[in-house]
Amino acid sequence: MNNVRPIRAKRGTNLEGASAHNRRVIVEALRLNGQLSRADLARATALTKQTVSNIVDELERDGLVVSLTAVRSGRGQPSTPYRLVPEGAYAIGLQIDRHVTRSIAVDLVGTVLVRFAASLPQGGPSAGVKTVLDLVEKTRRELAKIATHSEERLVGLGVAMPGPFGIETVDDDPWMMSAWQNFPLLETLAVGTGLDVALQNDAAAAATAEKMIGAANGIDHAICLYLGYGLGAGLILDGDLYRGANGNAGEIGMVLTTRPEGRLSPLEHRTSIASLCKVMDIDPAIDDLYGRITDAVAMMNPRLLEWVEGAAADLRATIQMSETIFDPQTIILCGSLPETLARLLMQSLDPLLPSIAERRDRTFPRLQLGFTDPWAVAVGAAAEPIGRTFDPRFSAILKTRAGFVA
């Protein structure tokens, strides 16, 4: 019998870890600012000029940055700006939802190069995983036509699907994807594609997209309220996406609220696209769901307006609670919903409830609109391998220990 007590300790780093972190810092600075000289990079990152020069030279050799035409400013020596090379890396993003799967390919700066979608067949993952693998392979083939060296610069496959993960659910619960969550999805995808695979929930993926190329770009503290089939929140805290102990951070749709009749009900049961479809008697699996909702907004459909009023009341309380708990710089409304509906919701949310976020020195609005696009989650899924490879993250500095993945 093994009675050895586990030792509790933080992991350390070493010179290689610090060097890798500095390299990521330079890449992020170029991504956020577009182009910078070596002197600019040294000032912005507090690294020595020699360290910056060594890293820039290394990145240039690796095909990740390129020098531009020298610029003369004042009487000093001309400076040479550098920028990221979009073709320096590529990633695939995969969204698996209840009725559809989407695959997308992006370059190092997040430009979408290829995208495909397919309906998922009945029968759960045993039938649907072939559709998923075929879609990823189709995306890779198309990407290779556009970028002939894409395969050797493909950094991974990011996967996003609705959570929460690892909880006990009944198999026929329409709000969960328990069959897919209990299926060895990551292992199957890794074997089938030969790529490094990572999973996140759809709200976290939407926040990743906002962080890389959207409204949260350059913001260290933001809450991304994701309104899709369900309701969730992506938490960007101190520049990093916070996932929680089990990858379920931000599952606000599971928050229990009291209905008028007195019973408890999860928030997303009345504030989500699925709840809107139920109110309007629309099948959420139809191909033209966005078109149907957009038409209903244009006609100011009474049932849609009633849903908007209730959803706005729920979201006002959610925003006030999120501001109180997390103290973000801004809250971003995003999701897989038509932009016309998102803008109607934004109008209905005004005025927001009083909170600690009401400050005279605010730089960003308390609430702003982010991506409202059916492809937003897939974009965020593709951005995850790029971020995992190049963004400065605390976990990337630490030495790996047995049984632990950073």
Tokens, residue 278: 């139920």
Q: CA angle at residue 165 from 159 to 171, to 5 degrees?
A: 105
List the one residue out of 45, 22, 50 whose CA is nearest residue 33.
45
What is the sign of the dihedral through the CA atoms of 297, 302, 306 and 307? negative
Quick one: how far is CA 38 from the chain centroid? Answer: 30
> Binning pLDDT at 50, 70 and 90, where does residue 318 land?
very high
Could you report the per-residue pLDDT of 268-278, keeping only the tens digit for each? 999 999 999 99
Q: Looking at this protein, which amino acid is placed at residue 11?
A: R
Separation CA 109–CA 98 (nearest Å): 29
Q: Find where tokens 């809450």 sit.
A: 223
Predicted local confidence at residue 391, as pLDDT: 83
Distances (CA, A) of 15 to 44, 249, 391: 22, 32, 18
On the question of a cis peptide bond just before residue 164, with omega within 30 degrees of 0, the verdict is: yes
Q: Give backbone dihedrals phi and psi of 88, rounded to 5 degrees, phi first.
A: -70, -25
Instruction: Write the pLDDT tens digit of every residue in 344-403.
Output: 999 999 999 999 999 999 999 999 999 998 898 999 999 999 988 988 876 665 555 433
Cα separation of 191 and 185, whole Å?
Answer: 10
Cα separations in angstroms, 371 against 207, 208, 297, 337: 9, 11, 18, 9
**pLDDT higher than threshold 50 for residue 406:** no
Q: How far apart are CA 251 and CA 248, in angstroms?
A: 6
Question: Is the CB of residue 205 less than 8 Å from the CB of residue 286?
Answer: no
First vs last C-alpha separation in the chain:
30
pLDDT at 91 over 50: yes
Give residue 278's pLDDT.
95
Dihedral angle sign, alpha carbons of residues 192, 150, 33, 367: negative
Element (H, E) at 323: helix 302-326
Cβ-contact 199, 186 below 8 angstroms: yes
**387: burial class by Cβ within 10 Å (0-12, 13-18, 19+)?**
buried
Q: What is the pLDDT of residues 162-190, one digit of tens each?
A: 988 877 765 556 667 888 888 999 999 99
Residue 96 phi/psi, 5-degree rounding, is: -120, 115
Q: What pLDDT sits at residue 405?
A: 37
User: In this model, does residue 21 exceed pLDDT 90?
Assistant: no
- Looking at residues 136-150, what average pLDDT do you find? 96
Averaged pLDDT, 117-122: 92
Q: What is the pLDDT of residues 223-275, one digit of tens each?
A: 999 999 999 999 999 988 999 988 899 999 999 988 777 789 999 999 999 99
CA pair distance 245, 339, nearest whole angstrom:
33
Q: What percent of the chain has pLDDT over 70?
A: 90
Measuring CA to CA, which residue among 232, 195, 176, 227 is closest to residue 103? 195
Tokens of 143: 């990407």
Q: How many Cβ atoms from other residues are within 10 Å of residue 2's Cβ?
A: 3
User: 94 - beta bridge partners?
Assistant: 103, 159
315 Cβ contact partners less than 8 Å away, ≥ 6 residues apart: 225, 271, 333, 345, 349
**Rounded Cα–Cα distance for residues 178 and 183 (Å):** 8
Q: What is the pTM of this model?
A: 0.86
